[in-house]
A and B are shown apart, each in its own frame.
Chain A
Amino acid sequence: GAVVSQHPSWVICKSGTSVKIECRSLDFQATTMFWYRQFPKQSLMLMATSNEGSKATYEQGVEKDKFLINHASLTLSTLTVTSAHPEDSSFYICSASWGASGTDTQYFGPGTRLTVL
């Protein structure tokens, strides 16, 4: 149980284009979903937290107009990287929790490798 999927697993795009990453909880309803970014040999850095049906809460330093998050249902959240640039190249990982506060265990997706040329 508690399986989270991400799609796509990797994507290569040209600079200036937008890329959408999907995160799905397959066997549970995720009240809260989280988006992280991980650079090589670094830890996961929380970008934003989203609760179903409400606006995402972004961490300091994360541009909300650049990283659009939509949590339209209890099983799906999307992250759209708008006008992507090479410095946005990273490993993006989502996680999902069924707790309202998110303090319950988070279950992570397999990640999406984004490369911006």
Chain B
Amino acid sequence: SQKIEQNSEALNIQEGKTATLTCNYTNYSPAYLQWYRQDPGRGPVFLLLIRENEKEKRKERLKVTFDTTLKQSLFHITASQPADSATYLCALVSGTYKYIFGTGTRLKVLA
């Protein structure tokens, strides 16, 4: 069956360190993958998109990698800050228009 897993439901990290979140999938061939940030009681906010033929994408302190062989995407936040604390969702776009979301990882950056 098709499955998307984000490592650890929750991740605590010290301010200034790099946070690394993982998104693994099985039985999909995604055209591309996106990462979103969701704060409590709010809708997701788009962060980064990476296509299947791209290995890495960067935006300010954010970096995403996409390994279609391993069926995995890694999301990095460098020099993390308490304001980065939120739930981060990965979403696969496969075939048609459907977005398939992972369950999210709650990141907490400790001051």
Contact = CB atoms under 8 A, between A and B. Distances in A.
A95 B46 CA distance: 11
A93 B44 contact: yes
B80 to A, nearest CB: 22
Contacts, number: 52
Contacts of A107: 46
Interface in A25-59: 32, 34, 41-46, 49
The contact size tier of chain A is 20 to 34
**Interface centre among B43, B89, B96, by most A CB within 10 Å?**
B43
Contact of B103 (A42, A93, A95): A42
Interface in A71-101: 91, 93, 95, 97, 101
Contacts of A42: 103
Interface in B2-23: 9
A66 to B, nearest CB: 21
B43 A106 contact: no
B77 interface: no
B75 to A, nearest CB: 15
Contacts of A49: 97
B31 A110 contact: no
Contacts of A97: 97
Given A44-B89, A44-B99, A93-B44, 12 more contacts: A6-B43, A32-B97, A43-B89, A91-B41, A97-B97, A101-B97, A103-B97, A105-B46, A105-B49, A108-B43, A110-B42, A113-B41
